[in-house]
Structure 1
Amino acid sequence: MRPSAALPPVIRIIDGTFYRHHPSSASTAGQANPPLFNNLKFTLPSATDPPNHWYVLGPSLSGKTTFLQLLRGEHLCFGPEARSFPYLSTDAVPRKLRVPGKAIQYVGFDNNGFSASAIKPAHLSARYESKRVDTDFSLQDFLLGNTELNALKSDEDKPNPVLVDRVVRDLRLAHLLDLPVSFLSNGQGRRARIARALLRVPEVLLLDEPFMGLDPPTVAGLSPLLHSMARKASPRLVMSARPQDPIPDWITHLVYLRGDCQVGAMGEKEVVLEGLRKYVRGVWNGTRKEDKEMAVHNIEHMGKILTAKGIQGDPLGGEEGQAEDEIPLAADDQLSKPLGEPVVEMDGCVVQYRGKVALGSWKQQIQGEEKHGLLWTVRRGERWGIFGPNGSGKTTILSLICSDHPQTYSLPIKLFGKTRIPEPESATLPLTIWDIQARIGHSSPEIHQLMPRNLTVRQVIENSWADTFRTKAKMDSERKGKVDAVLGWFQAELNPAYLPSSSSPTLTATETYLQWADHYMFGELSFSAQRVLLFLRAIIKNPDIVVLDEAFGGMDDVVRNRCLLFLEHGDSKMYATNEDGSETIVDREASKAGNVKVRGLTDDQALICISHVREEIPGCIREWICLPEANSGEAARFGKSRGPLGKDEKSWRDIWGMSR
């Protein structure tokens, strides 16, 4: 039943200003505690006619998560009566949902797995090797709330079976119900967390970047499902996203957040987009001064629309990318470059659990011989992209390469020319997991979950040279110089207290200049900064294989582009801003002086990347493999793009089998 238009709004904020800590608290003296969203006005109606579907957009550190949190009653509000939830006090709401903490559910994807009490992270290999009774419950138990040993639960707390069946069917989770939650892929886990929140029958569901890390077909399928929920107010939705992310076509209202946790624009979608379009063009033609907290380089990528047929339309800055015939082909000398020695060799890999095949459920003809499973070779100097639907086995491939998966011992796999098992005719010892991980740099959502939150910024990067997350890194003067170089290069992204005026230290002041890296802990950084830190940890030691699994998810365009530039050139180059606002890649003074500490990818290194967003794929990637839907029987497809996938939409659509 649709709520009556006469009922009061679910959320009402009139001239509210918010703080993370009480502004007069003695315990916060000296801590940054700026006012958030000064004099905010926001209303979420209980009625569904006319529709009110909100999308909160903003760059990194703009406060998207904070904005969603304050909608459910978190953070201090001044004045105290400026924020209210009048609809929750009406008879239209069940008694158990009459408090914001229960009626308004928040689902974020930057936390440790499913929740602190639901699943405890383990070392990557442990997720496959044994069943832990206290944490490795099935997805069905997770959805039903059966995640506590000896838990007391009344019948009224159990989800309605009819609702469970509908949610499981709508979110395509039925075939996963018996799997332990630790076996779910990143995308499957996101759908599971949304399902868990829906089974609590909330009045409002806050989704923090719900499309991040999902493959294009899944995003195209999930958006209409969310629209159906919002249209029926079952539940009402408020979602957040980055500026460059497409806006679902059913969204009616936008909030654009400035870089200083204030609202830059709010209102009906078309009105907000037109206002921001005029702002961008005004700055470009010199009739309007740019606000540093409303950076044009963030806003100009907004405006693309997500439809049932895919992403359509142009961003606010105009047409994006290059036409098909404008994309430069790979140079002849690149195509004819001698191939390096193999670093990964898979000769028919099939991974299965309890009789269910998770990877390699296909047969193919190779030189007249029928082969079963994945056949794939990665050589030094090659740049590979691994694509495929969520749950198709992409992360499983990486776990085999990184030797976290126990089936690495039994499958026909060679790493750096050796197998994991002793060979009778060989006089050399087999590779240990420590040998392998010392030669691989790895950034992924799983690493993000496992990284100890109480390590300092410096310790996280130095951990690249440690055997485990907690052991002491083996450092020398050269390695310390590399760490100092990347901390200085990425200070704006990593230092929460960064001020541009402090960006050019003297050599003698370097130690003082970088003291912040020994002060701030990993857990204190924003999600974007944490991802930058893990990216640097993966590449700083110049490993034989660099593995980037959704490494740039959660970053805005500027931060991501700096990371991609660093991946290719190290600290030898930088972006310089021209008078017209455009950016050019130039040599840094350190490069001119021959003082480069960290170099970009070399011909001796292999790169393997997983991403569902083509702009996040390094421009050097040409080779690709696209895995089929699990257990579909279809074979993996291999190919080569004509140019950088970030600019080659045709190749990107070919990979996913999507027509324009």
Structure 2
Amino acid sequence: MRFTTFRPPVINIVFGTFYRHHPGGSSIHPNPALFKNLNFTLPSTTESPTHWYIIGPSLSGKTTFLQILSGSHLCFPPSARSYPYLSMDEVPHRLRVPHKAIQYVGFNNDGLASSVTTSAYLSARYESKREDTDFSLRDFLLGNTELNPLKRPPEGGFNPKLFDRVVRDLKLAELLDLPVTFLSNGQGRRARIARALLSTPEVLLLDEPFMGLDPPTVAGLSPLLHGLASRASPRLILSARPQDPIPDWITHLAYLRGDCQIGAIGEKQVVLEKLRQYVREVWNGKSKEDESLPVHNLVHVGRTLTADGIDGEPLMGEKALKASESPIAQDAGVSRNIGEPIVEMNGCKVQYRGKIALGNWVQEIDGKKQEGLSWTVRRGERWGIFGPNGSGKTTIVSLICSDHPQTYSLPMKLFGRSRLPEVGSDQLPLTFWDIQARIGHSSPEIHQHMPRNLTVKEVVANAWADTFRSKAVLDEQAREKIKACLRWFEAELNPEFIKTSKLGSDAQESSDLQWADHYMFGELSFSAQRVALFLRAIIKNPDIVVLDEACSGMDDGVRNRCLLFLEHGETKSYSKNDDGSETIVESDASKSNNVKVGGLNENQALICISHIREEIPDCIREWICLPEANSGLPARFGVSKAPLGRDEKSWRRIWGM
């Protein structure tokens, strides 16, 4: 007769309600109850594997939910949340407290780790002079980031086999000797996951781990996480946006409502069927749509992520896709006026200590072969830059924005002028400040360096400032633009915003913007921070708008409103139909001739970087796809006839899929 030893759960929450502040205390900030009467259990045994996926739109509390699991936030009653397994003898002594045993890994652009000093300004990551605190990726992964030689190394010791496997599986082997400040956005994400895995926690909470990774890397990372979860080494809990596919090995789902409450929780198929039934009833008029559980956020849920890519249909099949798609504006297909060149690269090759990071190929230009990247951007053009992580996309942006020191020595011109004096020319070279004033830029790097103690209004107004911390010089037109943007996106930016029946942000009646002077950038959710940086990049109609992963972290609805605002400003808004779909209509501001912020014009160029086709603006037509680093293959160029966000065929051709 076989006996099985009972093993208590790692996390056990029974009818717990949570608060950010004590409900009996006084605070100027709202303090609503979070996840009322929550029941959640994470077993310690692997006999019946339970792999959790926490899904929710922006502001639904995904990060808050993961923090609650790790022991953060006040629990009422206090006994409702416990960690019985951590007191077992088989658990190492160093892991017997939740904050050690349960590790949270987020991607909120605060740097690779709080103990690692990151660059104080954007161009520092590309400079040859290194600081004492610029640790290599190897040191970062091993925890050797302390300047105090007497400080003890991290507990738990070093496992060479685990190190080799994690580095190999996450494709970090060739990057081990690089300073962490050299890593691209996607490489940095993989590095954070690797470091967390090497600390061998009991539970690893990954907050949107697939965000910012290219499609091939996402497909490769999912099986690795599955292997870890299957061995319970560590146990994994992942979060994702509604539009993100669900890994095929996930067994349990928790779908979060927009008010930090649970919409559905349990086994995957049971939850999907419950959500499917809800969508059907709303579409058929049998039940009223819950404002905290909007249908348009649900219809993409249900696609599956496999080792070969994304498979299957969402909850309601093709009808769901059509209902949830952001409609194309009526004038999206009009002919464009292409103007003068404003970015000219004539054989650019970026290299560090003999190692080529960009342009390691031979390109054919007008029948002649030329080494390096040759590329021209003209006024009125809308470019997409694609390629795997580490292929040089952000390096191209740093050259255009003149953050990269090699901009001075490379064969390139910005706005028809060189960075250095030209022989026989009376033109003065462009200064760094001249270039910065003519470019609007939103990226994970900008997000990382933006001071958290600026108010929401100061972040948007920073478009008119010379540096992140200098005072913006504003005229009356600039002030009106800032007010218009804050009103238009109040639902996305104001944590205290009370939803009305209006869809989108076409609500001009709200004139009180005190919240924008009250809330700090660091107090906003990740999605709201991205919206603020997006507005900062486009608000003053710069000559070049650069959007590098600008919409990552936003759910479908927020992203669609941002992209519509990019192209049309206040002139267009969304109108919601009875079946949950949306229609683009003329806005109230346009009808009353009160538009303060317009969309892109023919004198501007747009450059967009994204790994998610739905995050690509409809106006993008021209594209460049960079090859895998050091593959020797040239960059590929093309033009899409249809919006890439809706043209699956063109999107697959770009990625060679």
The reply on whether 1:56 has 2:54 as its aligned counterpart is yes
2:11 corresponds to = 11
Give the corresponding residue for 2:565: 566
CA offset at residue 501 of structure 1? 5.4
SS at match of 1:547: strand
- Equivalent residue number for residue 46 of structure 1: 44
Equivalent residue for 2:20?
A: 20
Shift of 1:154: 4.9
* Aligned partners of 1:572 and 1:599 also within 8 Å: yes
Match of 1:115 in 2: 113
SS in 1 for 2:90: coil
Q: Judge conservation of contact 2:51–2:249 (CA < 8 Å) in 1.
A: yes
TM-score, length-normalised on structure 2? Answer: 0.95
In the TM superposition, residue 297 of structure 1 has moved relative to its aligned partner by 1.1
Shift in Å, 1:625:
0.6
- The answer to whether the 8 Å contact 1:5/1:46 transfers is no
In the other structure, the counterpart of 1:127 is 125
Pair 298,631 (structure 1): closer, same or farther in 2 beyond 3 Å: same
Alpha-carbon offset, residue 509 of structure 1: 7.7
The aligned residue for residue 595 of structure 1 is 594
**Deviation at residue 81 of structure 1 after TM alignment:** 1.2
What corresponds to 2:490 in structure 1?
A: 491
Are 1:321 and 1:647, in contact at CA under 8 Å, matched by a contact in 2?
no
Change (3 A) 1:372 1:45: same
User: What is the Cα deviation at residue 129 of structure 1?
Assistant: 1.8
Which is further off, 477-486 or 119-128?
Answer: 119-128
Worse-matched range after superposition: 123-132 or 283-292: 123-132
For residues 23-43 of structure 1, give each alpha carbon's deviation from its aligned partner in whole angstroms, at most 9, with x where no partner exists: 112xx3342111111111111
The alpha-carbon distance between structure 1 residues 263 and 543, as it changes in their structure 2 partners (threshold 3 A), is: same
Partner secondary structure for residue 81 of structure 1: helix
User: What SS is found at the alignment partner of 1:118?
Assistant: coil
Q: What do the CA deviations read for 1:77-117 (whole angstroms, capped 9, x no partner)?
A: 11111111111111221111111111111100014111222
Residue 367 of structure 1 and its aligned partner are, at CA, apart by 3.1
Q: Is the 8 A contact 1:57 1:240 kept in 2?
A: yes
**Secondary structure at 1:125 match in 2:** helix
Distance 1:539 1:60, change over 3 A: same
Rounded Cα–Cα distance in structure 2 between residues aligned with 1:207 and 1:127:
26
- Give the superposition deviation at 1:132: 4.4
Output the CA distance in 2 between the equivalents of 1:331 and 1:238: 44
The one-letter code of the counterpart of 1:439 is R
Q: CA deviation at 1:338?
A: 4.8
Q: Is the 8 A contact 2:344 2:412 kept in 1?
A: yes
Q: Deviations over 1:136-173 (max 9, x none)?
A: 11001101111110241258544222221221112111
CA contact (8 A) 2:53 2:253 kept: yes
1:75 alignment partner in structure 2: 73
- Is the alpha carbon distance of 1:285 and 1:188 closer, same or farther for their aligned partners in structure 2, counting shifts above 3 Å? same
Distance 2:238 2:127 in 1: 37
Q: Distance in 1 between matches of 2:509 and 2:162?
A: 65
Corresponding residue SS for 2:607: strand
CA contact (8 A) 1:304 1:313 kept: yes
Supply the distance in 2 between the matched residues of 1:508 and 1:178 (Cα, whole angstroms): 56
Residues 218-237 of structure 1 mapped to structure 2, 5 A cutoff: 218-237=217-236
Quick check: 2:487–2:508 contact (8 Å CA) kept in 1? no
The change in CA–CA distance for 1:333 and 1:590 in structure 2 (over 3 A counts) is closer
Q: Which secondary structure state, in structure 1, belongs to the residue aligned with residue 75 of structure 2?
A: strand
Mapped partners of 1:53, 1:507: distance in 2: 45
Counterpart residue number, 1:620: 619
| Residue identity matched to 1:11 | I
Matched, 1:193 2:192: yes
Measured after TM superposition, the shift of residue 121 of structure 1 is: 4.0
Counterpart amino acid of 2:397? L
Q: Which moved more, 1:116-125 or 1:240-249?
A: 116-125
Letter in 1 for 2:44: S
CA contact (8 A) 1:112 1:121 kept: no
Going from structure 1 to structure 2, the CA distance change for 1:638 and 1:275 (only over 3 Å counts) comes to: same
Asked whether the equivalents of residues 206 and 237 of structure 1 are also in contact (C-alpha less than 8 Å), the reply is yes
Q: In 2, distance between residues paired with 1:646 and 1:498?
A: 30
Report the 3-state secondary structure (helix = DSSP H, G, I; strand = E; otherwise coil) of the residue aligned with 2:429.
coil
Q: What is the percentage of aligned positions where both structures have the same residue? A: 71
Q: Corresponding residue for 2:575? A: 576
Q: Which amino acid is 1:21 matched to?
A: H
Aligned to 1:609: 608
- 8 Å Cα contact 1:5-1:49 kept in structure 2: no
Q: Say which is worse superposed, 151-160 or 628-637, in terms of deviation.
A: 151-160
Is the 8 Å Cα contact of residues 11 and 44 (structure 1) preserved in structure 2?
yes
Letter in 1 for 2:141: L
Counterpart code for 2:209? P
C-alpha distance in structure 1 between counterparts of 2:136 and 2:496, whole Å: 43
Measure, in 2, the Cα distance between the counterparts of 1:91 and 1:253.
Answer: 28
1:374-417, Cα deviation, whole Å (9 max, x unpaired): 11111110000000000000000000000000000011111011
- In the other structure, the counterpart of 1:419 is 418
Structure 2 residue aligned with 1:375: 374
Using the alignment, how far apart are the partners of 1:94 and 1:136 within structure 2?
32
* CA distance, structure 2, for counterparts of residue 332 and residue 598 of structure 1: 18
- The aligned amino acid for 2:7 is L
Equivalents in 1 of 2:198, 2:509: separation in Å? 59
Q: Aligned partners of 1:428 and 1:415: how far apart in 2?
A: 13
SS of alignment partner, residue 446 of structure 2: helix
| Alpha-carbon separation, structure 2, partners of 1:506 and 1:37 | 30
Q: Give yes or no for contact 2:388–2:627 (8 Å, CA) kept in 1.
A: yes
Residue 78 of structure 2 aligns to a residue whose secondary structure is coil
For residues 196-222 of structure 1, give each alpha carbon's deviation from its aligned partner in whole angstroms, at most 9, with x where no partner exists. Answer: 111111111100000001010110010
Q: Given that residues 143 and 153 in structure 2 are in contact (C-alpha distance below 8 angstroms), is that contact kept between their aligned partners in structure 1?
A: no
Matched residue, 2:305: 306
Distance 1:332 1:105, change over 3 A: closer
> Which is worse superposed, 268-277 or 365-374?
365-374
Distance 2:355 2:367 in 1: 28
1:92 to 85, 90, 115: 90
- Deviation readout 1:237-274 (Å, 9 max, x if unpaired): 00000011110011010000111111110111111001
Between 1:85-94 and 1:236-245, the stretch displaced more is 85-94
Conserved in 2, the CA contact under 8 Å of 1:321 and 1:648?
no
Superposed, 1:294-373 pairs within 5 Å as 294-319=293-318, 337-373=336-372
Query: Which secondary structure state, in structure 1, belongs to the residue aligned with residue 478 of structure 2?
Result: helix
Inter-partner Cα distance in structure 2 for 1:333 and 1:311: 29
Letter in 1 for 2:568: H
The answer for unaligned runs of 5 or more in structure 2 is none
Residues 576, 621 of structure 1: CA spacing in aligned structure 2 closer, same or farther, 3 A cutoff? same
SS in 1 for 2:606: strand
Please list every run of at least 4 consecutive aligned residues from structure 1 whose deviation after the TM superposition is greater than 4 angstroms: 154-157, 330-335, 501-509
2:305 partner letter: L
Does the 8 Å contact 2:16/2:37 carry over to 1?
yes
1:440 partnered with 2:435: no
Q: What is aligned with 1:262?
A: 261
Change (3 A) 1:355 1:647: same
Q: Assess, with a 3 A threshold, how the Cα gap between structure 1 residues 617 and 507 changes in structure 2: closer, same or farther.
A: closer
Q: Given that residues 73 and 100 in structure 1 are in contact (C-alpha distance below 8 angstroms), is that contact kept between their aligned partners in structure 2?
A: yes
Change beyond 3 A, Cα 1:508–1:194: closer
CA distance in 2, matches of 1:505, 1:29: 31
How many angstroms apart in 1 are the aligned matches of 2:344 and 2:529? Answer: 32
Pair 1:118–1:332, CA change in 2 (3 A): closer
Aligned pair count reads 647
The answer to whether 1:165 aligns with 2:164 is yes
For residue 601 of structure 2, what is the amino acid of its counterpart? T
Gaps of 5+ in 1: none
**Residues 407-486 of structure 1 aligned to structure 2 (within 5 Å):** 407-486=406-485
- 8 Å Cα contact 2:246/2:304 also seen in 1: yes
Counterpart of 1:33 in structure 2 is 31
In 1, Cα distance between equivalents of 2:227 and 2:445: 31
CA distance in structure 1 between the aligned counterparts of 2:167 and 2:250, rounded to whole angstroms: 24
Shift of 1:334: 5.1
* Amino acid of the structure 2 residue aligned with 1:445: P
Which deviations, in whole Å up to 9, do the C-alpha atoms of 1:33-87 show, x marking residues without a partner? 1111111111111111221100000011111001111111111111111111111
